[in-house]
Chain A
Protein backbone atom coordinates (compact mmCIF):
# COMPACT_ATOMS: atom_id res chain seq x y z
CA UNK A 1 0.00 0.00 0.00
CA UNK A 2 1.49 3.30 -0.99
CA UNK A 3 -0.95 5.87 0.15
CA UNK A 4 0.97 8.84 1.55
CA UNK A 5 0.49 9.37 5.26
CA UNK A 6 -0.69 12.94 4.58
CA UNK A 7 -3.83 11.70 2.85
CA UNK A 8 -4.89 9.77 5.89
CA UNK A 9 -4.05 12.63 8.18
CA UNK A 10 -6.01 15.05 6.05
CA UNK A 11 -8.98 12.73 6.10
CA UNK A 12 -8.76 12.55 9.87
CA UNK A 13 -8.51 16.33 10.10
CA UNK A 14 -11.53 16.81 7.87
CA UNK A 15 -13.54 14.36 9.93
CA UNK A 16 -12.44 16.06 13.10
CA UNK A 17 -13.52 19.49 11.94
CA UNK A 18 -16.80 18.20 10.62
CA UNK A 19 -17.35 16.95 14.16
CA UNK A 20 -16.35 20.33 15.50
CA UNK A 21 -18.76 22.04 13.16
CA UNK A 22 -21.51 19.71 14.29
CA UNK A 23 -20.68 20.37 17.90
CA UNK A 24 -20.96 24.11 17.31
CA UNK A 25 -24.19 24.11 15.40
CA UNK A 26 -26.36 21.25 16.64
CA UNK A 27 -29.03 21.99 19.20
CA UNK A 28 -29.76 18.55 20.49
CA UNK A 29 -27.84 16.64 23.11
CA UNK A 30 -27.78 13.37 21.14
CA UNK A 31 -26.55 15.20 18.08
CA UNK A 32 -23.81 16.80 20.12
CA UNK A 33 -22.79 13.39 21.34
CA UNK A 34 -22.67 12.12 17.78
CA UNK A 35 -20.38 14.98 16.85
CA UNK A 36 -18.17 14.22 19.80
CA UNK A 37 -17.90 10.59 18.80
CA UNK A 38 -16.86 11.66 15.36
CA UNK A 39 -14.08 13.80 16.75
CA UNK A 40 -12.85 11.00 18.97
CA UNK A 41 -12.90 8.69 16.03
CA UNK A 42 -10.76 11.08 13.99
CA UNK A 43 -8.24 11.17 16.79
CA UNK A 44 -8.12 7.40 16.90
CA UNK A 45 -7.35 7.37 13.19
CA UNK A 46 -4.50 9.76 13.79
CA UNK A 47 -2.99 7.53 16.45
CA UNK A 48 -3.16 4.51 14.25
CA UNK A 49 -1.73 6.34 11.24
CA UNK A 50 1.20 7.75 13.10
CA UNK A 51 1.97 4.39 14.59
CA UNK A 52 1.79 2.63 11.23
CA UNK A 53 3.83 5.17 9.30
CA UNK A 54 6.34 6.56 11.76
CA UNK A 55 7.01 3.77 14.27
CA UNK A 56 6.08 0.52 12.67
CA UNK A 57 7.93 -1.54 15.27
CA UNK A 58 6.06 -0.12 18.18
CA UNK A 59 2.53 -0.44 19.48
CA UNK A 60 1.87 2.82 21.35
CA UNK A 61 -0.45 4.43 18.84
CA UNK A 62 -2.21 1.16 18.28
CA UNK A 63 -2.90 0.66 21.93
CA UNK A 64 -3.91 4.26 22.38
CA UNK A 65 -6.45 3.84 19.65
CA UNK A 66 -7.71 0.82 21.45
CA UNK A 67 -7.97 2.72 24.69
CA UNK A 68 -9.60 5.60 22.86
CA UNK A 69 -12.31 3.25 21.70
CA UNK A 70 -12.74 2.05 25.27
CA UNK A 71 -12.91 5.56 26.63
CA UNK A 72 -15.41 6.51 23.95
CA UNK A 73 -17.59 3.64 25.00
CA UNK A 74 -17.41 4.64 28.65
CA UNK A 75 -18.05 8.28 27.88
CA UNK A 76 -21.02 7.44 25.73
CA UNK A 77 -22.52 5.32 28.45
CA UNK A 78 -22.31 8.10 31.00
CA UNK A 79 -23.41 10.78 28.56
CA UNK A 80 -26.44 8.80 27.55
CA UNK A 81 -27.32 8.24 31.17
CA UNK A 82 -27.12 11.97 31.68
CA UNK A 83 -29.23 12.66 28.63
CA UNK A 84 -31.90 10.30 29.88
CA UNK A 85 -31.84 12.02 33.25
CA UNK A 86 -32.08 15.43 31.63
CA UNK A 87 -35.00 14.28 29.56
CA UNK A 88 -36.69 12.98 32.65
CA UNK A 89 -36.34 16.33 34.38
CA UNK A 90 -36.92 18.73 31.53
CA UNK A 91 -38.98 16.61 29.14
CA UNK A 92 -36.68 17.75 26.41
CA UNK A 93 -33.08 17.29 25.40
CA UNK A 94 -32.98 20.56 23.62
CA UNK A 95 -29.87 22.46 24.61
CA UNK A 96 -31.89 25.68 25.05
CA UNK A 97 -33.36 24.25 28.21
CA UNK A 98 -30.02 23.67 29.84
CA UNK A 99 -28.97 27.10 30.92
CA UNK A 100 -28.84 26.66 34.65
CA UNK A 101 -25.06 26.92 34.58
CA UNK A 102 -25.38 30.43 33.22
CA UNK A 103 -23.61 33.20 35.20
Chain B
Protein backbone atom coordinates (compact mmCIF):
# COMPACT_ATOMS: atom_id res chain seq x y z
CA UNK B 1 0.00 0.00 0.00
CA UNK B 2 1.19 3.37 -0.93
CA UNK B 3 1.80 5.81 1.88
CA UNK B 4 0.28 8.58 -0.24
CA UNK B 5 -2.92 6.67 -0.61
CA UNK B 6 -3.12 6.12 3.13
CA UNK B 7 -2.59 9.81 3.77
CA UNK B 8 -5.15 10.71 1.17
CA UNK B 9 -7.67 8.25 2.57
CA UNK B 10 -7.30 9.56 6.09
CA UNK B 11 -7.52 13.16 4.88
CA UNK B 12 -10.60 12.38 2.86
CA UNK B 13 -12.22 10.58 5.77
CA UNK B 14 -11.55 13.48 8.13
CA UNK B 15 -12.83 16.02 5.59
CA UNK B 16 -16.04 14.21 4.82
CA UNK B 17 -16.87 13.52 8.43
CA UNK B 18 -16.06 17.09 9.39
CA UNK B 19 -18.16 18.38 6.51
CA UNK B 20 -21.10 16.27 7.55
CA UNK B 21 -20.84 17.55 11.09
CA UNK B 22 -20.48 21.11 9.82
CA UNK B 23 -23.79 20.98 7.98
CA UNK B 24 -25.75 19.07 10.59
CA UNK B 25 -24.48 20.33 13.92
CA UNK B 26 -27.06 22.25 15.87
CA UNK B 27 -24.44 24.40 17.56
CA UNK B 28 -23.09 27.05 15.24
CA UNK B 29 -19.77 27.36 17.03
CA UNK B 30 -19.22 23.65 16.58
CA UNK B 31 -20.15 23.88 12.91
CA UNK B 32 -17.58 26.59 12.40
CA UNK B 33 -14.93 24.46 14.02
CA UNK B 34 -15.85 21.52 11.79
CA UNK B 35 -15.52 23.82 8.78
CA UNK B 36 -12.04 24.63 9.96
CA UNK B 37 -11.16 20.95 9.75
CA UNK B 38 -12.45 20.75 6.19
CA UNK B 39 -10.35 23.74 5.24
CA UNK B 40 -7.25 22.31 6.85
CA UNK B 41 -7.86 19.05 5.03
CA UNK B 42 -8.06 20.93 1.76
CA UNK B 43 -4.76 22.59 2.54
CA UNK B 44 -3.36 19.11 3.12
CA UNK B 45 -4.55 18.06 -0.32
CA UNK B 46 -2.81 21.05 -1.86
CA UNK B 47 0.38 20.07 -0.10
CA UNK B 48 -0.01 16.57 -1.49
CA UNK B 49 -0.23 18.06 -4.94
CA UNK B 50 2.98 19.98 -4.15
CA UNK B 51 1.09 23.24 -4.42
CA UNK B 52 2.68 24.56 -1.31
CA UNK B 53 1.93 28.24 -1.83
CA UNK B 54 -1.71 27.44 -2.47
CA UNK B 55 -1.85 25.39 0.69
CA UNK B 56 -0.27 28.22 2.64
CA UNK B 57 -2.75 30.67 1.22
CA UNK B 58 -5.56 28.32 2.06
CA UNK B 59 -4.48 28.16 5.67
CA UNK B 60 -3.84 31.88 6.08
CA UNK B 61 -6.83 33.23 4.24
CA UNK B 62 -9.42 30.60 5.00
CA UNK B 63 -8.44 29.27 8.31
CA UNK B 64 -6.82 32.43 9.55
CA UNK B 65 -9.19 34.99 8.08
CA UNK B 66 -12.55 33.64 7.19
CA UNK B 67 -13.06 31.27 10.08
CA UNK B 68 -11.99 33.97 12.47
CA UNK B 69 -14.61 36.22 10.95
CA UNK B 70 -17.19 33.50 11.46
CA UNK B 71 -16.23 33.18 15.07
CA UNK B 72 -16.41 36.95 15.46
CA UNK B 73 -19.88 37.14 14.09
CA UNK B 74 -21.04 34.23 16.21
CA UNK B 75 -19.67 35.93 19.26
CA UNK B 76 -21.12 39.30 18.24
CA UNK B 77 -24.57 37.96 17.68
CA UNK B 78 -24.36 35.69 20.65
CA UNK B 79 -27.21 33.70 21.94
CA UNK B 80 -29.65 34.39 19.11
CA UNK B 81 -27.47 32.66 16.62
CA UNK B 82 -26.47 29.67 18.60
CA UNK B 83 -29.62 27.77 18.06
CA UNK B 84 -29.51 26.18 14.64
CA UNK B 85 -32.87 24.54 14.15
CA UNK B 86 -33.34 22.25 11.23
CA UNK B 87 -35.83 22.88 8.48
CA UNK B 88 -39.19 21.26 7.83
CA UNK B 89 -39.21 17.58 6.97
CA UNK B 90 -40.46 18.22 3.50
CA UNK B 91 -37.65 20.50 2.53
CA UNK B 92 -35.23 18.26 4.37
CA UNK B 93 -36.26 15.30 2.27
CA UNK B 94 -36.37 17.33 -0.93
CA UNK B 95 -32.93 18.81 -0.28
CA UNK B 96 -31.49 15.41 0.59
CA UNK B 97 -32.97 13.84 -2.50
CA UNK B 98 -31.74 16.54 -4.85
CA UNK B 99 -28.30 16.71 -3.29
CA UNK B 100 -27.91 12.93 -3.33
CA UNK B 101 -29.08 12.71 -6.91
CA UNK B 102 -26.63 15.41 -7.91
CA UNK B 103 -23.82 13.71 -6.06
CA UNK B 104 -24.53 10.35 -7.62
CA UNK B 105 -24.75 11.95 -11.05
CA UNK B 106 -21.48 13.79 -10.53
CA UNK B 107 -19.62 10.68 -9.30
CA UNK B 108 -21.03 8.66 -12.15
CA UNK B 109 -19.85 11.25 -14.64
CA UNK B 110 -16.43 11.46 -13.04
CA UNK B 111 -16.06 7.69 -13.26
CA UNK B 112 -17.20 7.41 -16.83
CA UNK B 113 -15.38 10.41 -18.25
CA UNK B 114 -11.89 10.09 -19.59
CA UNK B 115 -10.05 13.18 -18.39
CA UNK B 116 -6.99 12.35 -20.45
CA UNK B 117 -4.99 12.93 -17.34
CA UNK B 118 -1.24 12.66 -17.79
CA UNK B 119 0.56 11.04 -14.98
CA UNK B 120 1.03 13.17 -11.96
CA UNK B 121 4.58 14.44 -12.10
CA UNK B 122 4.81 15.87 -8.65
CA UNK B 123 6.53 19.00 -9.90
CA UNK B 124 5.72 21.84 -7.59
CA UNK B 125 5.40 25.41 -8.68
CA UNK B 126 8.29 27.62 -7.98
CA UNK B 127 7.51 30.88 -6.26
CA UNK B 128 9.41 32.81 -8.86
CA UNK B 129 7.42 31.29 -11.68
CA UNK B 130 4.19 31.99 -9.84
CA UNK B 131 5.16 35.56 -9.21
CA UNK B 132 6.11 36.07 -12.84
CA UNK B 133 2.84 34.59 -14.01
CA UNK B 134 0.77 36.68 -11.66
CA UNK B 135 2.53 39.88 -12.52
CA UNK B 136 3.36 39.14 -16.16
CA UNK B 137 1.71 40.86 -19.03
CA UNK B 138 2.24 38.21 -21.72
CA UNK B 139 0.18 35.29 -22.84
CA UNK B 140 -0.99 33.02 -19.96
CA UNK B 141 -0.12 35.81 -17.55
CA UNK B 142 -2.53 37.22 -15.06
CA UNK B 143 -1.76 40.84 -14.29
CA UNK B 144 -5.25 41.99 -15.18
CA UNK B 145 -7.20 39.47 -13.07
CA UNK B 146 -4.77 40.11 -10.30
CA UNK B 147 -5.48 43.81 -10.35
CA UNK B 148 -9.18 43.21 -10.68
CA UNK B 149 -8.93 40.96 -7.67
CA UNK B 150 -7.26 43.67 -5.66
CA UNK B 151 -9.94 46.16 -6.62
CA UNK B 152 -12.59 43.62 -5.67
CA UNK B 153 -11.05 43.13 -2.28
CA UNK B 154 -10.89 46.87 -1.76
CA UNK B 155 -14.50 47.25 -2.80
CA UNK B 156 -15.52 44.46 -0.45
CA UNK B 157 -13.71 46.05 2.41
CA UNK B 158 -15.38 49.38 1.81
CA UNK B 159 -18.74 47.72 1.21
CA UNK B 160 -18.54 45.62 4.32
CA UNK B 161 -17.77 48.67 6.41
CA UNK B 162 -20.59 50.58 4.77
CA UNK B 163 -23.09 47.85 5.43
CA UNK B 164 -22.03 46.91 8.90
CA UNK B 165 -21.48 50.28 10.49
CA UNK B 166 -24.13 51.82 12.66
CA UNK B 167 -26.26 54.52 11.23
Give yes or no for direct A-B contact (beta carbon below 8 Å). Answer: yes
B95 / chain A contacts, CB cutoff of 8 Å: 20-21, 24-25
- Name the A residues within 8 Å of B156 (CB-CB): 73-75, 77-78
Assuming the A-B contacts A9-B110, A69-B57, A69-B62, are A77 and B42 also in contact, with contact meaning beta carbons closer than 8 angstroms in the complex?
no
Which chain A positions have C-beta within 8 A of B28? 28, 30-31
Contact among A15, A70, A88 for B61, CB-based, below 8 A: A70
Residues of A within 8 A of B (CB): 1-3, 5-11, 13-22, 24-28, 30-31, 33-35, 37-38, 41, 44-45, 48-50, 52-54, 56, 58-60, 62-63, 65-67, 69-78, 80-85, 87-88, 91-94
Nearest CB in chain B to that of A47: its residue: B54
> 9 closest A-B pairs (Cβ-Cβ)?
A24-B95, A22-B23, A74-B156, A17-B103, A81-B164, A81-B160, A81-B163, A21-B99, A53-B117
Q: Determine if A27 and B54 form an interchain contact, defined as CB atoms under 8 angstroms apart.
A: no
Q: Report how far A53 CA is from B35 CA in the complex, Å.
A: 27
Q: Which of A14, A37, A66, A75 contacts B35 (CB 8 A)?
A: A37
The one of A21, A52, A63 that contacts B133, using a Cβ cutoff of 8 Å: A63
Residue from A11, A35, A54, A93 with most neighbouring chain B CB atoms (10 Å): A11
Complex: A22 Cα to B87 Cα, angstroms: 10
What is the 8 Å Cβ interface bit string for chain B, positions 61-73, against chain A (1 contact, 0 not)? 1100110011011
Tell me the minimal C-beta distance from A93 to chain B in angstroms.
Answer: 6
Closest to A21 in B: B99
Find A67's partner among B19, B42, B106, B149 (CB 8 Å cutoff): B149
Closest chain A CB from B140 CB (angstroms)? 7
State the main secondary structure of chain A at its contact with B: helix
Besides A17-B103, A31-B84, A80-B72, 15 other CB < 8 A contacts?
A: A1-B4, A3-B48, A9-B110, A14-B16, A41-B42, A54-B116, A54-B117, A54-B118, A56-B121, A69-B61, A70-B61, A71-B149, A71-B152, A78-B163, A83-B77
A44 to B94 CA separation, bound complex (whole angstroms): 27
The answer to whether A93 touches B152 (Cβ under 8 A) is no
CB of B130 within 8 A of CB of A59, answer yes
Residues from chain A with Cβ under 8 Å of B107 in the complex: 10, 13-14
Contact A87 to B77, CB < 8 A, known contacts A13-B107, A18-B20, A78-B160: yes
